[in-house]
Chains A and B, each alone.
Chain A
Amino acid sequence: MIKLETAHIEEVRGIRKLDIDFRKEKFAISGPNGSGKSGVIDAIEFGLTGQIGRLTGRGTKGLSVAEHGPHVDKVKFPDAAFVELQVYLTDLGKSVTIHRKISAPKKPKITPSGNDVKAALAEIADHPEMALSRREILRFILVEPAKRAEEIQALLKLDEIGAARSALYTAQNRLQSAEKAAASQTKANQDALLRHFQIPTLSSTSLLEETNKRRVILGLPEIAQLTADTKLNAGMSDGAKASDFNKVSVLRDLAAMSEAANGFPTLAKAEVAAVLKSLTLLESDPTLFAALQRRSFIEKGLELVDGPECPLCDTKWDSEQHLLDHLQAKLAKSEEALKVQQALLKDGAVVAQFIVPIMSLLAPVQKLALSHDEPEYSQLLLSWRAGLDDLRSKLVNVDGLLGLKDRLSGEWLDVQTTLLDGLQKLTAKVEAKPDQSATLDAQTFLTTAQLRLDDYREGMRKSKAAKVTFESAEAAYAAYCMVMDDELNALYQDVQEDFSTYYRTVNGDDESKFTAKLTPSEGRLEFDVNFYERGLYPPGAFHSEGHQDGMGVCLYLALMKRLFGERFKFALLDDVVMSVDSGHRREFCNLLKTHFPDTQFIITTHDRVWAEQMKSAGLVTSRTSLMFHGWSIEAGPVVESNKDVWDRIAIELGKGNVGDAAGTLCRHLEYTSRQLADQLGAPVPFRADGNHELGELLPNALSVLKGHYGKAASAAQSWGNQGLRDMVVARRDALSAAVGAQNVENWAVNKAVHYNEWANFDRKDFEPVVAAFKELLDCFRCDSCDSWLHVTPRGYPESLRCACNALNFNLKPKPK
């Protein structure tokens, strides 16, 4: 895992050039909508993974990192767009630099490199879920159970497990079909053997009895025992073995074929009707038909995926995973088509099994026709047999079945009109032959018997092999399912407990007995939550949108903890608690601090109050937060921070750019005044749009801080804490002095409301203004943690303190 040290972003998304020092700590980026916050998240995600989820997820057709990753003015110069991250690899205990260009997302320059570093970064690149946006958290909460299962399984990389399970399932099914086909062939071979021997059932006693009758005629020793190696015609000369024409047996084969032909018109009628029903349904519903065709097409593609290039259309994707997700999503859309597909394959396989015995009956008859001067009839039977084989193969796959409607609607076996005539003619020819002598009959009987026994044995061997193969696949699939279900149940149990704990931490004030239940079943994941102890309901049933947002983040955190355990060190949270109210956000800070003390969260928000809460709750500090004031297409985000604003003003003044320095100072004053007024509870005239001016904020913040210092000094005295009183008085005096200094420059400060006039100052006029404001603002902050002072609780302040508690002034005097 990683922690982020620094980021340098150039020409990526809405950012022109930006450096951020993340310090391996929790970090907040705030700013109004469209100010570039998400651009930072995109850039970090790109730097770490080479991908930007916002451009490659669902609903992003037509978007790509290559075309839409660079700043809009650099689309034609993607080489100019890059991210350079200084990353600390927590497992290796070393820092590396990743320099990644939009034009070469898969070829980052990593310094220092090495196999251990590559492996660590490959793990990060494999986990784009470290970036979470509000759009994504709702995927876990407000979705169908089947979709939720899919989303959560993807997050936990369970798609890999699912892919193995799916491949095992398909292997089991295909091998079962192969086993059935082999069994059908064996049955046909057995029928041929029984017909030749004219025995009702297969037993070694019956076989040997009939065999030995012929062997006695030929003066051959009787066979006492039938083993796997027994040759029924053992001892016969090669010449005697040459002919397998046994008149009686051949006539039986011809009769069997004729008898079978009588049943052709009604053969598998119900089974064929079932196939036709599905095909007719598809014909009447073009959308369903198209979905089924696509399914078949996409399934082929999924099997062939090997890298980021689509095997179906050659489109190059950002990653193999992205391509697989895309294809899986398409498959998931055709549930109804899946049902039709399953019914078609099942019924088709049954019909196919009726064809095997016909092909077995045809083989000896075709051979007979050839040897009895009927080449045309032989060719006809050969072609028909090939046609039946083709039909059989089409009946066991979707593409083949889709083209069979016309054939199955009519005389689907395609029985040749000359079949029966040919059979009669052939029968007449055989019957016309003189009866074979007892010796010849015995010779040909044994030759044919051995051939058919060989066929039967071969069929049995193949059938047994197919059975063993199928049983192996069946056992493997069953074992995999059992193990997977056990592990997933345990996983979901852990996740539901962690989720409930986290949610209670955030909502303990009104849902202290909150519980949740995750129930996996057949590809679905039911998710129910307790609604004020009135029972379990889906999250969207009764809970507010704010609560649902909170649930989404808590579930994400529980899943990430399960995925990484103690190695969960980094996550990007992009505006994820926008619907959560102020009180619960404070508890959310508490959750992140207490349950994930060593995890670096980079949190963006458009809400100024939330940004300040993160500071006052000690989740972040002034050094680990950044505010964007706005954004322009030419300059990117307008950044404000406490840390280096005075340095930047000094640099601008050094260059003689008073106008730029004045603009920076004015934005900083607006930014801090808003914060100070909010955190100190200063009375401010109400404005519905919240766009207060500096003159409405700063004087009131000053006044209220003076008042708080006064109360704190009195309170300290009442408690007999002289040291604390002296400290408060010193701060109050410093504030008064700073206000005095500011008033010296009042003629200039008054123009701050319309700061454009500052631009007309020269450097020497403006430097004292800057110094006065810096001294003034320093009175509002803690020297240790650099945070702004705030009162707590809000509305009815009892203390004035900073984030690190180095400053903590009681405002309540000792009761008299």
Chain B
Amino acid sequence: MATLQQIIAERFLTKLSESEDIDGSHIDQLRALLAENRKPKLDDFMRIFSLSSGDVK
């Protein structure tokens, strides 16, 4: 049985993939982070969101 944390993480990532406000590479990084760390820290999120999405000129 999936834990509540796992259910929320999976639905969160699905929701993000439907959003146009967030880059696909960010979602991949978040998926990896949530899979390996049940209590991700602020620095983890800051690192992921600060990754260049490559489309800013």
Chain A positions near chain B (C-beta within 8 angstroms): 156-158, 160-161, 163-164, 167-168, 170-171, 174-175, 228, 303, 461, 464-465, 468-476, 479-480, 482-484, 486-487, 491, 564-565, 567
Interface 0/1 of B12-55, CB less than 8 Å to A? 10011001011100100010001000111111111001101101
Given contacts A158-B4, A167-B40, contact A480 B56 (CB under 8 A): no
Chain A residues whose CB sits within 8 angstroms of the CB of B16 once the complex forms? 475-476, 479
Contact B46 A157 (CB under 8 A): no
Chain B residues whose CB sits within 8 angstroms of the CB of A475 once the complex forms? 16, 19, 21-22
Contact A156 B12 (CB under 8 A): no
- Tell me the minimal C-beta distance from A89 to chain B in angstroms: 16
Chain B positions near chain A (C-beta within 8 angstroms): 1, 3-5, 7-8, 11-12, 15-16, 19, 21-23, 26, 30, 34, 38-46, 49-50, 52-53, 55-57
Chain A residues whose CB sits within 8 angstroms of the CB of B53 once the complex forms? 468, 472
Contact A168 B5 (CB under 8 A): no
Given contacts A167-B44, A461-B57, A483-B15, contact A469 B5 (CB under 8 A): no
Partner of A157, one of B5, B22, B49: B5
Given contacts A461-B56, A474-B21, A476-B30, contact A171 B49 (CB under 8 A): yes
Contact B56 A160 (CB under 8 A): no
Q: How far is the CA of A316 from the CA of B23 in the complex (A)?
A: 41
Q: How far is the CA of A157 from the CA of B38 in the complex (A)?
A: 10
Given contacts A461-B56, A468-B56, contact A473 B49 (CB under 8 A): yes
Given contacts A175-B49, A471-B21, contact A483 B42 (CB under 8 A): no
Partner of B15, one of A163, A170, A479: A479
Which chain B residue has the least Cβ–Cβ distance from A304? B41
Which chain B residue has the least Cβ–Cβ distance from A320? B39
Which chain A residue has the least Cβ–Cβ distance from B11? A483
Q: Which 3 A-B pairs have the closest CB atoms?
A: A475-B21, A171-B45, A479-B15
Q: How far is the CA of A81 from the CA of B22 in the complex (A)?
A: 55
* Sample of 12 more A-B contacts, CB < 8 Å, known A171-B49, A174-B46, A480-B12: A157-B3, A160-B39, A161-B4, A168-B45, A465-B52, A469-B49, A472-B21, A474-B21, A482-B15, A483-B8, A483-B11, A484-B8
Q: How far is the CA of A469 from the CA of B46 in the complex (A)?
A: 9
Contact B45 A167 (CB under 8 A): yes
- Tell me the minimal C-beta distance from B39 to chain A in angstroms: 5
- Tell me the minimal C-beta distance from B18 to chain A in angstroms: 9
Q: How far is the CA of A475 from the CA of B42 in the complex (A)?
A: 16
Given contacts A157-B5, A228-B57, A461-B57, contact A472 B40 (CB under 8 A): no
Chain B residues whose CB sits within 8 angstroms of the CB of A167 once the complex forms? 40-42, 44-45
Contact A476 B3 (CB under 8 A): no
Complex A-B: 18 CB contacts under 8 Å: A167-B41, A175-B46, A228-B57, A303-B42, A461-B56, A461-B57, A465-B56, A468-B53, A468-B55, A468-B56, A470-B49, A471-B22, A475-B22, A479-B15, A480-B8, A484-B8, A484-B12, A565-B1
Contact A156 B49 (CB under 8 A): no
Which chain B residue has the least Cβ–Cβ distance from A465? B56
Q: How far is the CA of A303 from the CA of B21 in the complex (A)?
A: 27
Contact B46 A171 (CB under 8 A): yes
Counting chain A CB atoms within 10 Å of each CB, the highest count among B4, B5, B15, B50 belongs to B4
Partner of B23, one of A461, A472, A564: A472
Contact B7 A487 (CB under 8 A): yes
Q: How far is the CA of A170 from the CA of B21 in the complex (A)?
A: 19
Q: How far is the CA of A564 from the CA of B3 in the complex (A)?
A: 8
Chain B residues whose CB sits within 8 angstroms of the CB of A170 once the complex forms? 42
Contact B50 A469 (CB under 8 A): yes
Contact A487 B45 (CB under 8 A): no
Chain B residues whose CB sits within 8 angstroms of the CB of A303 once the complex forms? 41-43
Contact A487 B4 (CB under 8 A): yes
Contact B39 A163 (CB under 8 A): yes
Q: How far is the CA of A480 from the CA of B45 in the complex (A)?
A: 13
- Tell me the minimal C-beta distance from A656 to chain B in angstroms: 58
Chain A residues whose CB sits within 8 angstroms of the CB of B3 once the complex forms? 157
Q: How far is the CA of A368 from the CA of B18 in the complex (A)?
A: 53
Chain A residues whose CB sits within 8 angstroms of the CB of B5 once the complex forms? 157, 160-161
Contact A472 B44 (CB under 8 A): no
Which chain B residue has the least Cβ–Cβ distance from A462? B56
Chain A residues whose CB sits within 8 angstroms of the CB of B15 once the complex forms? 479, 482-483
Q: How far is the CA of A474 from the CA of B23 in the complex (A)?
A: 13
Given contacts A157-B3, A160-B39, A565-B1, contact A472 B8 (CB under 8 A): no
Which chain A residue has the least Cβ–Cβ distance from B23? A472
Contact B8 A476 (CB under 8 A): no
Chain B residues whose CB sits within 8 angstroms of the CB of A474 once the complex forms? 21
Which chain A residue has the least Cβ–Cβ distance from B14? A483
- Tell me the minimal C-beta distance from B28 to chain A in angstroms: 13
Contact A160 B38 (CB under 8 A): yes
- Tell me the minimal C-beta distance from A22 to chain B in angstroms: 25
Q: How far is the CA of A197 from the CA of B50 in the complex (A)?
A: 34
Contact B8 A161 (CB under 8 A): yes
Partner of B40, one of A156, A164, A470: A164
